[in-house]
Chain A
Amino acid sequence: MTPALVRIRPAATIAAAIATMTASLSVVPLFDSGRWIVPTALAIVLMAVTGAFSRAVALPAPLQPILQLLALLTLLTLMFAQPAAALGIFPGPVALGELQDLTRLALVEAEAALAPVPTTDTLLLLSVGGIGLVALTVDTIGVTLRLPALAGIPLLLVFALPAAVIRGGVPWWLLPLAVIGWLLLLAADSRDDARAWGPLLTRRPAAQAGPRAHPRVPRPRAASAGAAVQVALVAVLAALLLPTAIPGLSEPVWVSSSGDRPGIGGDGPVSVDPFASLRRDLVENPEREVLRYRTDSEAPGYLRLVSLDSFDGVTWRASEAPVRVPANEPLGPPELPGIADIAESTWDIRISDLDNAQLPVPYAGSSLTALADPLDERWTWDPQTRTVGGVGVSSRDAQYAVAAYDIDPTRAELRDASKRAPDSLLPYLQLPGDISPQLTTLADEVTAGAQTPYARAEALVDWFTEDGGFSYSTNVVTPPGADPLESFLDERIGYCQQFAGTMALMARAVGIPSRVVVGFTGGRLTDDGEYVVEARNAHAWPELWFSGVGWVWFEPTPRIGAGVVQPDYSRDRADRETPEAPTPEEAPEQQAPDVAAPLPGTTTSGPPVALIVLAAVGLAVLLALPTVIIAWRRRRRTSLTDPRARIEATWRDLGESVTDLGWTWSLAATPREASNALARQVRLGEPERAALRRLVWWIEQVRYAPPAVDVMPPSPADLRADLAVLRRAAERATVRSRRIRARLAPRSLWGGGLRESSVEGARVSTRV
């Protein structure tokens, strides 16, 4: 190999890139599409190419990651902030600022997201940037610094993150894939190592090797490679099989993988796509005011944005409305013969901060008029669902008045509604063919004994809010491969989307037409009679259809979300069994957003698992950092090409290892004094003494013998071996507390280090 090729280390470079790619495959279950793969792979390849380039031109090691970082930033700029780029390509301050904003947004989004998330641009940025950074780290640690074992830490991080976020871990086959990538890197590095040692093994005559040099045994290379493969195989198999073999250790990782949708799970029982985009808007700041409204309604209900009517087995979606009516044309009153008294109300709604293609309106809105500026003509009613939407429009700063009919049936009216739904409502009864049998079974069980549709609906609400043992958490993720619906029914923990979606499905299962509505809860009533709706009031709930009464909303979500109330017709039992007034903890000011971040008052979920794992990994990395740096430094020192510098550096490393452990060592002492002092402090056996003698002999040769003396210098491996023997001896002789301190806060790293002067204590009379 040419020297340039040796420097570039192509095999290790490629292996590092492959290792990052295989490890990042664990991200697959996080996204609902494969859109992230190509850009991310591009980032990994870019890191490998820039790494190889900087090694080819022999860039100093500290500058290599900087160059790679610049390349990565350029790529990110081109992908995500191109209009802001300096000269069209370069990450100038504007582009960097934009990337920073996007990243912040992405982190917020990621925190609230429920896997698998849609591959939005912001999350794509997170994937490309994050994995690009990992590729950079792996390339730097594994290839440039030649510490492939340590490169496993960033790889593990990539692998552990999805594994931690996704309940039940990632699919089992991702682990061997990731491990194989890393093993490739290890193999490539040891191959380069063997090549570096190779010539020494054959050329070195023993007679010249210095009087006390290592007897060298040629390394059985081929045999060791085979053994390594076997060991790796056994280790990976053990990692996969042991959890199944040992009861209670953990569930085997592949148990959750279902046959028909391997690996990539759904979105929870009810992924409401409009909700996902809305959520990004909302979770940034739960306290953010979205809109204010005034109403003369006696019992203001929720504000509806969009109604989702079809469930495809994974997500709830809104069907295209067959007819749309311009927003300024009034809809007639709903024909509801089953309700005796329909009150009319008006709502003055002023949106401040909501950027949506829907306008929040109450049910059942009938006409929309602009309050200030004329309303955009593109806003239209969907007369079936009585929601307002538009194409290319934004709800921001819209101000409008809505005339609405308050659909507030009495219980008696609801009880009377027992006719079958007309054929036009059949779509609202449709369940996917492969719907979980568990759902239908449960629905039947829960509603057993309920005679009327209304009684069944009541039973379902009671089951969700009280009897079913459900709890509320926004930090629930579905294991990949598991049926999200079954998972929700098993774990009985989730948030409004899941409650709403599941109740709607169960209602369909027992013959009640249903749909899921996304919108806002009523908000907080201010002193001047105005309602303030904040981001945290975002909500989803089911609407059920009853003959003669029409669509009626229910509230299956336990009463923790902001502004969650029960409609009058299903409140009795709640009144009877739970206090009406919210406890102080549940006061509106302290209520947390429904869809956003962790709730302080939530009892069911502790701190988010992902955060704990991240913190633990971060802490572990932090604690391991000194050891890593010292190992890297040792490796670099003992690998110096100039043998004299190598021996000097090894000697210095020995001194620092010893002082880190708290023993006396002085650079100003002669090698013999220093070694005698070490031998006095630390009990040395014969192998250690021999190693120490060898090192002393070499350092004296280097420092004081005539340079021309023809002695074959010790190889890095020899030096490392002797160093290791002595370090182990010193560690054995050291009390544990000092050993731990040496690992966590080594003196040689945090200032101090070897004292150059102050020979006292180390100087002793030595027999020369």
Chain B
Amino acid sequence: MTSEASTTSVEAAARVGTAVQSVISGKPETVRLALTVLLAGGHLLIEDVPGVGKTMLAKSLARALGCSVRRIQFTPDLLPGDVVGVSVFNRETRDFEFKPGAVFANIVLGDEINRASPKTQSALLECMEEGQVTVDGTTYLLGRPFMVIATQNPAEMEGTYPLPEAQRDRFMARVHMGYPDRSSEIRMLQSHSADEPLESLAPVTDAAEVRDMIDAVRQVYVAPSIDAYVVDLVAATRQHPQVRLGASPRAALHLLRAARASAALSGRAHVLPDDVQRLAAPVLAHRLVLTTDAHLARTTAQDIVAEIVTRVPLPASS
């Protein structure tokens, strides 16, 4: 990673961040996390009650990036073909022709992903992992960047199919929007009463630049002690008494990639343990399956990850 590339990446990311925050006020950490996931080439799961701006975040991010955006409103009757696309018979050419589904876009916004049937969910999640779609034996590559921003409503349980742990694992990070603070909410009322701020949001970058940014992130240096630290953290989730199913090796990979992106966003060419610590909860928490005891004790996965972060010592450097 040359310094010029990193500088442009940082600037572009900063532009995106500023743009998104003009719409989503008072949530810089959430916006930054979304950017981090984008630059790390991962997918983001936004989980919160309705009306806190989940969709707005996804939409503004997509718009600010200037990439192609498709939105899928997941419902119980949504079919896999609607997501990935179908082959239809063309009478003129007398041949099957592939009609791309909603997934063929740079940013795919999956609203209320837990309302779709498991069959449809898994179709989406497979493209997320592979970056490609295979229909009737033909493989179609998805565009780059490709990021799925899925929202999920935890409060409403009726008629939903919560993502199983194996599928939650595909998301790099889960973020809670949370309610805005008082001043942000006032500001939101003022800005949204006049006109739709999303309308005035102009793209500040393009897909090519985002691809460069993602490539640049891959060049961020990771010291051996950071690798060890990530492994230690992930291993600690597996040994935690209140955790039934700990984080997977894929989680370790995601955590490291996210840490790289975070370092790049800070303009650094190397990862610090602070990057890892800051991302541990968003990246690891949604993958943990807690024991009944933990549920009874009202301990959340975030609490456990935070506790692990304070407990696991930094490995000695070299």
Contacts and interface: CB of A to CB of B under 8 A. Distances in A.
Given A705-B221, A706-B221, A763-B309, A668 B274 contact: no
A704 B225 contact: yes
A670 B274 contact: yes
B245 to A, nearest CB: 26
A646 to B, nearest CB: 14
A673 interface: yes
A683 interface: no
A672 B310 contact: no
Contacts of A763: 277, 309-310
Contacts of B225: 703-704
Interface in A740-758: 756-757
Contacts of A768: 262-263, 266, 272, 274-275, 278
A647 to B, nearest CB: 11
Interface in A616-652: 644, 648
A704 B277 contact: no
B273 A704 contact: yes
A757 B226 CA distance: 17
A669 B274 CA distance: 9
A766 interface: yes
B174 interface: no
B314 interface: yes
Interface in B287-318: 309-311, 313-314, 317-318
A759 B270 contact: no
A737 interface: no
A766 B262 CA distance: 13
A586 interface: no
B311 A759 contact: yes
Given A670-B314, A759-B313, A763-B309, A705 B278 contact: no
B268 to A, nearest CB: 8
A702 B275 contact: no
Nearest to A760: B310
B271 interface: yes
Given A670-B272, A705-B223, A766 B317 contact: no
Contacts of A670: 272-274, 277, 314
Contacts of B221: 704-706
B269 interface: yes
* Most chain A CB inside 10 Å of its own CB: which residue of B266, B309, B313: B313
Given A670-B273, A704-B271, A706-B269, A765 B311 contact: no
Nearest to B266: A768
B178 to A, nearest CB: 15
A704 B272 contact: yes
Nearest to B270: A705
B278 A672 contact: no
A287 interface: no
A700 interface: yes
Contacts of B271: 704
Interface residues of A, number: 23
B274 A766 contact: yes
A640 to B, nearest CB: 15
Contact of B314 (A668, A702, A760): A668
Nearest to B273: A670
Interface string A661-696: 000000111101100000000000000000000000
Contact of B313 (A668, A673, A765, A766): A668
A760 B313 CA distance: 11
B226 A704 contact: yes
Contacts of B311: 757, 759
B20 to A, nearest CB: 18
Nearest to B271: A704
Contacts of B278: 765-766, 768
Contacts of B309: 763
Given A670-B272, A768-B272, A704 B310 contact: no
B223 A673 contact: no
Contacts of B266: 768
Given A670-B314, A756-B313, A763-B309, A706 B270 contact: yes
A709 to B, nearest CB: 8
Contacts of A667: 314
Nearest to A673: B274
Nearest to A709: B269
A709 B314 CA distance: 23
A705 B270 CA distance: 5
Nearest to B222: A704
A101 to B, nearest CB: 52
A648 B310 contact: no
A706 B226 CA distance: 12
Given A759-B311, A760-B310, A702 B317 contact: yes
A668 B311 CA distance: 9
A378 to B, nearest CB: 80
B270 A704 contact: yes
Given A768-B262, A768-B266, A703 B317 contact: yes
A703 B271 CA distance: 10
Contacts of B223: 703-706
Contacts of B226: 704
B272 A672 contact: yes
A768 B271 CA distance: 10
Contacts of A706: 221, 223, 269-270
Given A672-B274, A766-B274, A768-B278, A705 B269 contact: yes
A706 B317 CA distance: 12
Interface in A205-260: none
A668 B271 CA distance: 17
Nearest to B307: A760
Nearest to A765: B278
B108 to A, nearest CB: 29
A648 B317 contact: yes
Given A704-B272, A768-B275, 11 more contacts: A667-B314, A700-B270, A703-B317, A705-B270, A759-B310, A760-B310, A763-B277, A766-B278, A768-B266, A768-B272, A768-B274
11 contacts: A667-B314, A703-B318, A704-B223, A705-B221, A709-B269, A757-B311, A759-B311, A760-B310, A763-B309, A766-B278, A768-B263
Interface of B: 221, 223, 225-226, 262-263, 266, 269-275, 277-278, 309-311, 313-314, 317-318
Interface of A: 644, 648, 667-670, 672-673, 700, 702-706, 709, 756-757, 759-760, 763, 765-766, 768
Closest A-B pairs by Cβ, 10 of them: A703-B317, A668-B313, A706-B221, A705-B270, A670-B273, A704-B223, A768-B274, A704-B270, A670-B274, A672-B274
